Structure formats: C-alpha cells, structure tokens
Amino acid sequence: MTSFWGGIVRQAHYDDSRIVVNEQRSWMRPEQSRRTYQDDDLNFYFHLHLMRNILPAIDPSLEKEKIISFLKKTFQEQKINRAVIGLSGGIDSTLSFYLLKEALPVGSIFAFHLPYYDSHSKNIDLILSKTCLPKKNFQTISVRLIVDSIKNALHLVSNDEHDQKIRIGNSMARARMIVLFDQAKKYNALVCGTENKSEHFLGYYTRFGDEASDIEPIRHLYKTQIYELAKYLNVPQEIIKTQPTAGLWEGQTDERQFGFTYEEADQVLYLYYDKNLSLKELKKYGFKNGEKIISLAKANEYKHEVPYTI
C-alpha cells in the first residue's frame, strides 16, 4: 500500500505483524529508506494513516442524489409531505436535516432541539441561520421535566454510578422520541432518524429511543463517510469539528465512552461486517482496538434481533 505525507512517498507492507515502511526521498540512499516500526503505539498510528483507504470513499454527489431520491420516493409512497426531526447540533442530525430540506420544501419540516442540560446551543443558531427554516417550524423543548419525573417515579438512583448514568441516559433518549412522535402526529409527518452505520453496528443507541424513527436517510453511511458528505454539502466547520456526543450526561462524548475512535472503528466494522473477515484475519491488520470494537458490536447484536418471536 502507498501513502503520501508531505511530499514523501511511503510504501508499506506487513512482516510478522510489523509495518515495514520504505520512504522514498530524493536525498536518501537506498539503505536509509527502509524503516521497521515495532513499537505498538507507533505501529498503530502509522497503520491507521496507511490503512485509511480500507473503507471506500463515497462519491458525495452521487450519494446526495441517491439519498434525496430515496427521501422523495418514501414520502410520496406514504402520501405524507411533512417531516419532524430532532436537532442536537451534531453532525448526524445536521446532515440529515440538510438532506431533508433538499427533498421537501423547508416549510414542511419541523425541527426540535430537545436538551436535558443547557437549552441554548451555538450550533443550533448556526444551523437555523444557514437553512432559512421558518421560525414557527423550530422549537426548543427541554426534556428535563419528563426525565426527572421518570427518575423520581422509578427511583433511578443506584450505587453503581455507571448503571445510573445509562438508565437515565436511556430515559432521555426515549423522552426525546416521545416528543418527536407526538409532534409527528400533530403535523401528520414522518419522524426522520439520524442514525449512522457505525452506531448501528456498535449498537450505540437506545432501543425505542434515538433509534426509533419512520425513515433513516444516513444509516447506510459510516461515521467517517458522514464527514465526507457533510463537507460536500457545506455543513459549517464548527459543526463538523464538534466532538460527537449523545448528550446523555455532562461531558459525555461518543469516543471517550467507547475508548476508541470512529476512524478506527469504521475500518474494523467494514472489514468484519461488509467484507466478512474473521477476528483472526482482522488481527493481521494490527488494529489497536480491533477486538474491543468487535466485542462491543457483538455484545449489542441482540438490539438488531428483538423483539423475539415464535
């Protein structure tokens, strides 16, 4: 495989789980050009850069047209011409909204910001200023009252802090969908989901919560592909650079909770699920968190199978 860094051409191959890199520079003698990296961390970071092309790049133009066509077709088939969407200020909901407004008149879209913590988001202001959504079509509704009522009614207090966070976080996700489906009923609209393929495979969602929707425009795209399409559609850089978070507790981010990055996860998930590589075959690629990523995905596979039926 070949990589280009700052005018330097590096060709790499694997040799007993090591990355052997040949650096081609005009001033190098042949014996200087061959380097072997054995340190685990250095090995990983060189590997990650060199292996970025494992996951195929999308054609943003074709992808945009495919998704818009899918959205238009689905709304026409359902004989519904309105949509409801939750806007968190993150890249997934923003991209979904940008695509939605290409398929429907912007006046037919109703967007809701549903925070538990701070009710104001600079990213939300930015989205609204860039998309010309009518003021009457946007509303901020805090889910704090709903969630706190559930907490008090179910006594969601536990000696296990992690367990408590997860249970309350699940209640937040489900409370948001209660609001969105209620508003969809009010406006005779479809609820537009914002899930991506990485989250789907990792099971990083709340059943009957943020995964609940009527239509999913970006579930077929991995997170790193989401960034590609977002850049093409001129989603503001401030949103693209925002750390992904489900907003389930203060300071929570997806990657901190995972213990690995989306960039690494997408390569691993693609090889395992799309290319049908085994864990043994995956190990040859030297991913630092390969087993951890697949372990999380396998632990959550039941989410794709429920409800169980006869």
What pLDDT digit, counting tens, does each position of 251-297 carry? 778 888 899 999 999 999 999 999 999 999 998 898 999 999 999 99
In a domain, 71, yes or no: yes
Does 38 share its domain with 65?
no
pLDDT at 232: 97
- The C-alpha atoms of residue 281 and residue 14 are separated, in whole angstroms, by 13
In a domain, 169, yes or no: yes
Q: For residue range 98-130, what is the model confidence (pLDDT) as tens digits?
A: 999 999 999 999 999 999 987 668 899 999 998
**Whether residue 14 has pLDDT greater than 50:** no
**Whether residue 10 has pLDDT greater than 80:** no
pLDDT at 252: 76
In a domain, 261, yes or no: yes
Mean pLDDT value across the chain: 84
**Whether residue 49 has pLDDT greater than 90:** no
pLDDT at 52: 54
What number is the average pLDDT over the span 119-148? 91
Q: For residue range 203-220, what is the model confidence (pLDDT) as tens digits?
A: 999 999 999 999 999 999
Side-chain half-sphere CA neighbours of 26 within 13 A: 1
Number of domains in the chain: 3
What number is the average pLDDT over the span 16-38? 39
Does 92 share its domain with 193?
yes
Does 228 share its domain with 116?
yes
- Residues 95-134: b if buried by 16+ CB within 10 A, e if exposed: bbbbbbbebbeeebbbbbbbbbeeeebebbebbbeebebe
- The C-alpha atoms of residue 272 and residue 295 are separated, in whole angstroms, by 12
**Whether residue 33 has pLDDT greater than 70:** no
pLDDT at 34: 41
pLDDT at 245: 78
**Whether residue 44 has pLDDT greater than 80:** no
In a domain, 246, yes or no: no
**Whether residue 57 has pLDDT greater than 60:** yes
**Whether residue 246 has pLDDT greater than 50:** yes
How many Cβ atoms sit within 10 Å of the Cβ of residue 19?
A: 23
The residue range of the domain holding 288 is 254-304
Strand pairing partners for 190?
Answer: 83
What 3-state class would DSSP assign to 235?
coil
**Whether residue 4 has pLDDT greater than 70:** no
Among residues 10, 30, 50, the one where a domain terminates is 50
Does 84 share its domain with 202?
yes
| Helix, strand, coil percent content, the chain, rounded in steps of 5 | 50, 15, 35
In a domain, 309, yes or no: no
